Amino acid sequence: MIKKIVIICALITLINGKNHSEVETIQNFPKSKIEEYFLCIFVRFINAANKQTLSWNYNPKIINGENAKEGEIPYQVSLQNKFSSFHFCGGSILNENYIITAAHCVNGKFAEDIKVVAGTINLALPKYENDVHKIIIHEKYNYSDSWKNDIALLKVTPFVLSNLISLVPLPSPDDIIKPNDVATVSGWGRLSQGGPTTIYLQRVNILIANQEYCKLMYNKLNYNVYETQICAYYPTSEKGSCNGDSGGPLIVEGKLIGLVSWAMGCALTDYPTVYTRVVSYLDWIKNIASNRFSKLFTESNDEHIDEIRGKKAKNKSNG
């Protein structure tokens, strides 16, 4: 009985205390069980008196991954609280002025409270920090409908591009992504469920899921999976993102295919994680973030860096 109450307590904590700045996780709580609910309140009261809480951790994490190498994922950024330096979400450098991330990461937040940390794989080492000046959430973002249109852009103090800070290549509408294609997801946080946090950027390879299978599994739970979303997981081993890494990149063949959005649970082998499908939003991204110095579509980072450096050198010589 006690075990049952503890489980229900955890579910209540999850549903009522859910932080939308972290990856969304489906839970089903039987609301009719009033007795257990009040028993749960009693148990939580007793534990609070002992300075304990019955709650689940939501810190970002990559499950069964490995440390990323310096410069391996130069577009990966950490979104942090400006005052506490608490890492709450991931993101990618879209161009010198914009970060791309998940809408639920920044929904309800103020730009002046967020900083972007870039150019590092170790959050404890010196790094580049950029202020956020504006948050642009997709106008049709809907967390109550399977986190539909879970995408946002952050306008930031311009980045200085280097070997450690560069742009994430975007996909083309002509790119063909198939089930079982290898994808890489990355982020900072806990290394296992309830385990220690990490200051080192983690990466792990997973597989693109069959879209119809993903739809079928979530439809059983009365959740939708839309064509503007893409699913990925590792069917034979617990690998992937978990209760966080939100807004971070899902990469296939060097291009940003998805943004970590929501899942049934932590790196499950039967329920894939659902990602925002970036190619569905290319026009939206371009309308907001494109400018004369930014090549957003399919150009290599090296070509873009050379162009920027060339323009600066020309301006300097003319001055």
Kindly name the residue from 21, 78, 87, 104 that is annotated as catalytic: 104
Q: Token match 């280097």: residue?
A: 162
User: Whats the size of the chain, residue-wise?
Assistant: 319
Q: 187 by DSSP, 3-state: which?
A: strand
Helix/strand number for the chain, H first, E second? 6, 16
- 246 noted as active-site residue: yes
Kindly name the residue from 21, 92, 246, 294 that is annotated as catalytic: 246
Structure tokens, 218: 């979530």
Kindly name the residue from 92, 150, 245, 304 that is annotated as catalytic: 150
Burial letters 275-302, b for 16+ CB under 10 A, else e: bbbbbbbeebbeeebeeeebbbeeeebe
Query: What are the φ and ψ backbone dihedral angles of 296, each rounded to 5 degrees?
Result: -85, -25
Nearest Cα to Cα of residue 234 among 222, 242, 226, 223: 242
Name the residues annotated as catalytic.
104, 150, 246
